[in-house]
Amino acid sequence: MDKDNTIFFDKIRPMRDEIDRIDSEILLLLARRQAQVEKVVALKKAHNMPVYHPAREEDLISRLRSQATQAGMNPDYLEDLYRVILRQSRIKQTRKMALKGLRPEAKVLVVGGAGQMGAMFVRLFSRSGYEVRVLDREDWDRAPEFCKDIDLALISVPIEKTCEVANAVAPLLPPDAVMADLTSVKQAPVADMCQAHKGPVIGLHPLFGPTTDSLDKQIVVTCDGRDSDACQWVVEQLNLWGAVIVPATAGEHDAVMEIVQALRHFATFCFGDFLCQRHAPLERTLEFSSPIYRLELGMVGRLFAQDPGLYAEIIFATPERRALLKEYIQSLSRHLDMLDRNDKSGFIDQFNRVAEWFGPFSEQAMRESTFIINKLIERF
Ligand code: NAD
CATH number of the structural domain spanning residue 196:
3.40.50.720
Q: Is 206 in the pocket of ligand 1 (CB under 6 A)?
A: yes
Could you tell me if residue 47 is inside a domain?
A: yes
The span from the CA of 345 to the CA of 256, in Å, is 33
Residue 176 Cα to ligand 1 middle (Å): 25
Domain total for the chain? Answer: 3
Domain boundary, last residue among 193, 217, 248: 248
Query: What number does the ligand 1 atom closest to the CA of 164 have?
Result: 18
What's the count of helices (H) and strands (E) in the chain, helices before strands?
Answer: 16, 7
**Same domain, residue pair 80 and 18:** yes
Could you tell me if residue 326 is inside a domain?
A: yes
Q: Is 137 in the pocket of ligand 1 (CB under 6 A)?
A: yes
Residues near 125 by beta carbon (within 8 Å), at least 6 away in sequence: 101, 108, 110, 132
Could you tell me if residue 33 is inside a domain?
A: yes
**Same domain, residue pair 142 and 90:** no
**Same domain, residue pair 243 and 316:** no
Q: What is the pLDDT of residues 155-214, one digit of tens each?
A: 999 988 999 999 999 999 999 999 999 999 999 999 999 999 999 999 999 999 998 878
**Same domain, residue pair 164 and 238:** yes
Residue 183 Cα to ligand 1 middle (Å): 8
**Same domain, residue pair 234 and 145:** yes
Report field, pTM of the whole predicted structure over 0.95: no
Query: What number does the ligand 1 atom closest to the CA of 314 have?
Result: 34
Residue 311 Cα to ligand 1 middle (Å): 13
| pLDDT number for residue 376 | 82
| Contacts made by residues 134-138, CB under 8 angstroms, sequence distance 24+ | 134/109, 134/110, 135/109, 135/110, 135/111, 135/169, 136/111, 136/112
Query: Which residue puts its alpha carbon closest to atom 43 of ligand 1?
Result: 206
**Same domain, residue pair 262 and 359:** yes
Q: Are 97 and 45 in contact (CB under 8 A)?
A: yes
Could you tell me if residue 102 is inside a domain?
A: no
Could you tell me if residue 218 is inside a domain?
A: yes
| Residue-number span of the structural domain to which 89 is assigned | 3-97
Could you tell me if residue 344 is inside a domain?
A: yes
Instruction: Locate the DSSP E strands across the chain.
Output: 107-111, 131-135, 152-155, 178-181, 201-206, 219-226, 244-247
The span from the CA of 180 to the CA of 142, in Å, is 20
Domain boundary, last residue among 97, 132, 165: 97
**Same domain, residue pair 139 and 10:** no
- The CATH number of whichever domain residue 8 belongs to comes to 1.20.59.10
Query: Which residue puts its alpha carbon closest to atom 17 of ligand 1?
Result: 137
**Same domain, residue pair 178 and 73:** no
Residue to probe by mutation, ligand 1, list 157, 164, 218, 265, most atoms within 8 Å of CB: 157
**Same domain, residue pair 128 and 89:** no
Could you tell me if residue 348 is inside a domain?
A: yes
Residue 259 Cα to ligand 1 middle (Å): 22
Query: Which residue puts its alpha carbon closest to atom 33 of ligand 1?
Result: 183
**Same domain, residue pair 33 and 137:** no
Could you tell me if residue 301 is inside a domain?
A: yes
| pLDDT number for residue 148 | 95
| pLDDT number for residue 1 | 60
Q: Is 272 in the pocket of ligand 1 (CB under 6 A)?
A: no
| pLDDT number for residue 217 | 85
Domain boundary, last residue among 97, 117, 146: 97
Query: Which residue puts its alpha carbon closest to atom 11 of ligand 1?
Result: 137
- Does residue 202 sit in helix, strand or coil? strand
**Same domain, residue pair 265 and 208:** no
Query: What number does the ligand 1 atom closest to the CA of 189 have?
Result: 32
Query: What number does the ligand 1 atom closest to the CA of 184 have?
Result: 34
Q: Phi and psi dihedrals of 57, rounded to 5?
A: -65, -45
What is the secondary structure of 129-171 as a DSSP string?
A: T-EEEEE-GGGGGGHHHHHTT-SEEEE-S-GGGHHHHHHHHGG
**Which conformational region is residue 14 in: left (phi greater than 0), alpha (psi within -120 to 50 degrees), or beta?**
alpha
**Same domain, residue pair 79 and 204:** no
Q: Are 200 and 230 in contact (CB under 8 A)?
A: yes
Residue 161 Cα to ligand 1 middle (Å): 9
Residue 20 Cα to ligand 1 middle (Å): 53
Query: What number does the ligand 1 atom closest to the CA of 114 have?
Result: 9
Residue 104 Cα to ligand 1 middle (Å): 25
Residue 112 Cα to ligand 1 middle (Å): 6
With a cut of 70, which residues of the chain have pLDDT below it? 1, 98
